[in-house]
């Protein structure tokens, strides 16, 4: 009786289980930025940060103010929570696979003529290997670290954007009369 009960229990212990991450999106303080720049300069600042990070632009729509960019390479557990895996009686953090992807959605909106808002949201997807289950893609929850880093870079880039100095229009000077 104990032997017949022990074999199925051992099989259950060896079978892997997956526990998805608990939803808790990063705070607006890490993902939102208000810039004292007009929309077109904020758009340029975001583009420059994307270029500096060697991200590949997947889609962009200037009318809607959206840019989706893909990061080259994978991400780490410090960037996103991929849940927990359980096998052989213990739980451990699901490590992102080297084939994992990180996509960043940038939303740029004008706030009047001289201010803009930039929202950044990361989407992290990783193929997970759960023991004795087929491999599957799982969306990991962002911890906000990459969004905060990009937010700081955009803020720095925006400070480097130079506005042309406001100069009054030239005043027309009447022509001098010729002396005879």
**What is this structure's pTM?**
0.72
For the ranges 28-32, 139-143, 150-154, the maximum mean pLDDT occurs at 150-154
Report pLDDT for 14. Answer: 44
Number of domains in the chain: 1
Which CATH number belongs to the domain containing residue 100 in this structure? 3.30.310.80
Assigned domain for 100 exists: yes
Identify the H or E element spanning 14. helix 2-14
Token reading at 36: 């004292």
pLDDT tens for each residue of 105-122: 999 999 999 999 999 999
* Residue-number span of the structural domain to which 56 is assigned: 28-160
């Amino acid at each position: 009786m104990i032997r017949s009960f022990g074999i199925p229990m051992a099989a259950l212990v060896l079978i892997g289980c997956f526990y998805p991450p608990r939803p808790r999106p990063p705070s607006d303080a890490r993902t939102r930025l208000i810039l004292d720049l007009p929309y077109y300069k904020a758009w340029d600042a975001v583009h420059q940060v994307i270029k500096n990070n060697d991200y590949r632009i997947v889609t962009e729509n200037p009318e809607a103010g959206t840019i989706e960019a893909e990061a080259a390479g994978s991400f780490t557990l410090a960037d996103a929570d991929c849940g927990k895996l359980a096998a052989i009686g213990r739980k451990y953090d699901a490590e992102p696979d080297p084939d994992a992807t990180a996509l960043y959605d940038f939303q740029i909106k004008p706030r009047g003529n001289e201010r803009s808002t930039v929202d950044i949201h990361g989407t992290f997807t990783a193929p997970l290997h759960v023991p004795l289950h087929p491999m599957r893609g799982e969306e990991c929850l962002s911890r906000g670290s990459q969004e905060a880093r990009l937010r700081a870079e955009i803020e720095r880039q925006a400070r480097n954007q130079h506005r042309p100095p406001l100069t009054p229009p030239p005043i027309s000077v009447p022509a001098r009369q010729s002396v005879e």
